Structure 1
Amino acid sequence: MASQAQRTPPADWPKVDIPETYRILTAPGAPFEMEEATVQGRSYRVYKNALGTLREVFDQAREWGERDYMVFENERQTYGQHFRAAGRLGRILSERYGVKKGDRVVIAMRNLPEFSLAFWAAASIGAIITPLNGWGSGEELAYGVLDSGAKVVFVDGERLDRLRPHLPGLQTSAVIVTRPGPDGTAGATPLEDLVGTPSGYDDLPDDPPPDPGLQTDDYATILYTSGTTGRPKGALGTHRNIMTNLVSITFNGARAAVRRGEGIPETPEPDPDDPQPATLIPVPLFHVTGINSMMVPAVVGGAKIVLMYKWNPERFLELIERERVTGTTGVPAMVWQVLESPDFDKYDLSSLQGYGYGGAAIAPELTMRFVEQFPWFPVGQGYGATETSSVSVAHSAEDYLLHPDSVGLPVPCVDLKVVDEKGDEVPAGMSGELCIRGPNVVHGYWNNPEQTAAAFPDGWYHTGDVCRIDPDGFVYLLDRKKDMLIRGGENIYCVEVESVLVAHRNVIDAAVVGLPDRVLGEEVGAVVQLKPGTDVGEEELRAYVADHLAPFKVPIHIDIRTEEFPRNASGKTLKPVLREELLAKLGRDKNG
Structure 2
Amino acid sequence: MTDTLPDRSNPVTLRWTADRALSQDVRNTLCGPGGPFERTVEEVLGFPAEVFVQRLPHLPAVLIRAADRHPDAGYCVFDGPEPETLTYAEALSWAAAYAEVLRTDHGVGKGDRVAIASPNGKEYLLAIWATLSLGGIVAGLNGWWTPAELEHGIELTEPSLVLGSARPLERLAQTKAAEEGRLVPVALQDLHRAAAAVHDPAGRLPETDIHEDDPAAILFTSGTTSRPKGATLSHRNFVHFGMFGALGGTVALLGGGGRYRQIPGGVQRTSVCSNPFFHVSGVGPTLVGTPMSGSRLVFPAPGRWDAGRVLELTGRYKLTQWHGVPTHFWRMLTHPDFDEHGTDQVCVIGSGGSAFAPELLRLFEEKMPGVQITNGYGMTETTGGGTFLNGAGMDGHPASVGAAAPTMEVQVRGPDGEPLGEDQVGEVCIKGAGVFLGYWSDPEATAAAFADGRWYRTGDYGRIVDGVLYLESRMRDLIIRGGENIYPIEIEYRLVEHPGVADAAVIGVPDRILGQQVKAFVVPEPGAAPTEEELREWAGESLAAFKVPALIEFRDALPYNATGKVIKRRLEEEPGIS
Q: Tell me the TM-score normalised to structure 1 length.
A: 0.86
In structure 2, distance between residues paired with 1:412 and 1:330: 21
Closer/same/farther in 2, CA of residues 289 and 314 from structure 1, 3 Å limit: same
Closer/same/farther in 2, CA of residues 580 and 429 from structure 1, 3 Å limit: closer
Look up the match of 1:250: 246
In structure 1, distance between residues paired with 2:19 and 2:287: 32
Look up the match of 1:121: 130
Q: Pick from 210, 215, 219 the counterpart of residue 214 of structure 1.
A: 210
State whether residues 173 and 185 of structure 2, in contact with CA within 8 Å, keep that contact through their aligned partners in structure 1: no
Closer/same/farther in 2, CA of residues 318 and 555 from structure 1, 3 Å limit: same
Look up the match of 1:328: 322
Report the secondary structure of 1:526's partner residue: strand
Report the secondary structure of 1:510's partner residue: strand
The Cα of 1:397 is off from its aligned counterpart by: 1.5
Mapping of residues 80-159 of structure 1, within 5 Å: 80-159=89-168
Q: Render the CA deviation track for 1:286-334: whole Å, top value 9, x for unaligned.
A: 2101111344321233323210123111110111111112223001111
In structure 2, distance between residues paired with 1:128 and 1:371: 43
The Cα of 1:368 is off from its aligned counterpart by: 2.5
Closer/same/farther in 2, CA of residues 208 and 242 from structure 1, 3 Å limit: same
Look up the match of 1:432: 426
Look up the match of 1:277: 269
The Cα of 1:466 is off from its aligned counterpart by: 1.3
In structure 2, distance between residues paired with 1:418 and 1:169: 48
In structure 1, distance between residues paired with 2:47 and 2:275: 34
In structure 1, distance between residues paired with 2:291 and 2:432: 24
1:576 aligns with 2:572: no
Q: Render the CA deviation track for 1:311-361: whole Å, top value 9, x for unaligned.
A: 111110111111112223001111111111111111111222222112334
Look up the match of 1:543: 537
Q: Pick from 17, 28, 46 the counterpart of residue 41 of structure 1.
A: 46
Report the secondary structure of 2:37's partner residue: coil
Mapping of residues 223-372 of structure 1, within 5 Å: 223-256=219-252, 259=255, 275-308=267-300, 309-310=302-303, 311-372=305-366
In structure 1, distance between residues paired with 2:65 and 2:192: 25
State whether residues 178 and 185 of structure 2, in contact with CA within 8 Å, keep that contact through their aligned partners in structure 1: no
Report the secondary structure of 1:417's partner residue: strand
Look up the match of 1:466: 461
Closer/same/farther in 2, CA of residues 78 and 412 from structure 1, 3 Å limit: closer
Q: Render the CA deviation track for 1:376-421: whole Å, top value 9, x for unaligned.
A: 3321112111010012211111221121111111123111111122
Mapping of residues 414-563 of structure 1, within 5 Å: 414-458=408-452, 459-470=454-465, 472-561=466-555, 563=556
Mapping of residues 200-211 of structure 1, within 5 Å: 204-211=200-207
State whether residues 498 and 512 of structure 1, in contact with CA within 8 Å, keep that contact through their aligned partners in structure 2: yes
Q: Which amino acid aligns with 2:293?
A: G
State whether residues 430 and 468 of structure 1, in contact with CA within 8 Å, keep that contact through their aligned partners in structure 2: yes
Q: Pick from 399, 404, 410 the counterpart of residue 404 of structure 2.
A: 410
In structure 2, distance between residues paired with 1:361 and 1:544: 34
Report the secondary structure of 2:541's partner residue: helix
Look up the match of 2:558: 565
Closer/same/farther in 2, CA of residues 171 and 479 from structure 1, 3 Å limit: farther
In structure 2, distance between residues paired with 1:424 and 1:544: 44
1:68 aligns with 2:74: yes
Q: Render the CA deviation track for 1:397-447: whole Å, top value 9, x for unaligned.
A: 122112111111112311111112232222222111111000100011111
Q: Which amino acid aligns with 2:508?
A: G
State whether residues 90 and 208 of structure 1, in contact with CA within 8 Å, keep that contact through their aligned partners in structure 2: no
Look up the match of 2:187: 177
The Cα of 1:157 is off from its aligned counterpart by: 1.8
Q: Which amino acid aligns with 1:40?
A: L
The Cα of 1:18 is off from its aligned counterpart by: 5.2
The Cα of 1:225 is off from its aligned counterpart by: 0.6
Closer/same/farther in 2, CA of residues 261 and 535 from structure 1, 3 Å limit: closer
Report the secondary structure of 1:320's partner residue: helix
The Cα of 1:56 is off from its aligned counterpart by: 0.2
In structure 2, distance between residues paired with 1:258 and 1:60: 25
The Cα of 1:260 is off from its aligned counterpart by: 5.6
In structure 1, distance between residues paired with 2:384 and 2:59: 16
In structure 2, distance between residues paired with 1:294 and 1:170: 35
Gap regions ≥5 residues in structure 1: 1-16, 180-189, 263-272, 588-592
Closer/same/farther in 2, CA of residues 84 and 26 from structure 1, 3 Å limit: closer
Closer/same/farther in 2, CA of residues 489 and 69 from structure 1, 3 Å limit: same
Report the secondary structure of 2:336's partner residue: coil
Look up the match of 2:5: none
- Mean Cα deviation higher: 286-295 or 43-52: 286-295
Which has the higher relative contact order, 1 or 2, with Cα contacts under 8 A spaced 6 or more apart?
2
Report the secondary structure of 2:108's partner residue: coil
Q: Tell me the TM-score normalised to structure 2 length.
A: 0.88
Look up the match of 1:20: 20
Report the secondary structure of 1:467's partner residue: strand
- Mean Cα deviation higher: 518-527 or 355-364: 355-364
State whether residues 386 and 410 of structure 2, in contact with CA within 8 Å, keep that contact through their aligned partners in structure 1: no
In structure 2, distance between residues paired with 1:361 and 1:530: 37
Q: Sequence identity, in percent?
A: 37
In structure 2, distance between residues paired with 1:521 and 1:170: 41
1:55 aligns with 2:51: no
Q: Which amino acid aligns with 1:242?
A: F
State whether residues 241 and 288 of structure 2, in contact with CA within 8 Å, keep that contact through their aligned partners in structure 1: no
The Cα of 1:214 is off from its aligned counterpart by: 0.6
Closer/same/farther in 2, CA of residues 96 and 440 from structure 1, 3 Å limit: same
Look up the match of 2:262: none
Look up the match of 1:14: none
In structure 2, distance between residues paired with 1:535 and 1:178: 45
State whether residues 97 and 174 of structure 1, in contact with CA within 8 Å, keep that contact through their aligned partners in structure 2: no
Look up the match of 2:169: 160
State whether residues 480 and 486 of structure 2, in contact with CA within 8 Å, keep that contact through their aligned partners in structure 1: yes
The Cα of 1:253 is off from its aligned counterpart by: 3.2
Q: Render the CA deviation track for 1:21-51: whole Å, top value 9, x for unaligned.
A: 4994644344432112212211111111222
Gap regions ≥5 residues in structure 2: 1-16, 259-264
State whether residues 237 and 435 of structure 2, in contact with CA within 8 Å, keep that contact through their aligned partners in structure 1: yes
Closer/same/farther in 2, CA of residues 371 and 123 from structure 1, 3 Å limit: farther
In structure 2, distance between residues paired with 1:560 and 1:354: 45
The Cα of 1:233 is off from its aligned counterpart by: 0.7
Closer/same/farther in 2, CA of residues 172 and 323 from structure 1, 3 Å limit: farther
Report the secondary structure of 1:250's partner residue: helix
Report the secondary structure of 1:522's partner residue: strand
CA-based RMSD: 2.5
The Cα of 1:448 is off from its aligned counterpart by: 0.9
- Mean Cα deviation higher: 77-86 or 396-405: 77-86
In structure 2, distance between residues paired with 1:52 and 1:86: 19
The Cα of 1:475 is off from its aligned counterpart by: 1.1
In structure 1, distance between residues paired with 2:363 and 2:41: 42
Q: Which amino acid aligns with 1:334?
A: H
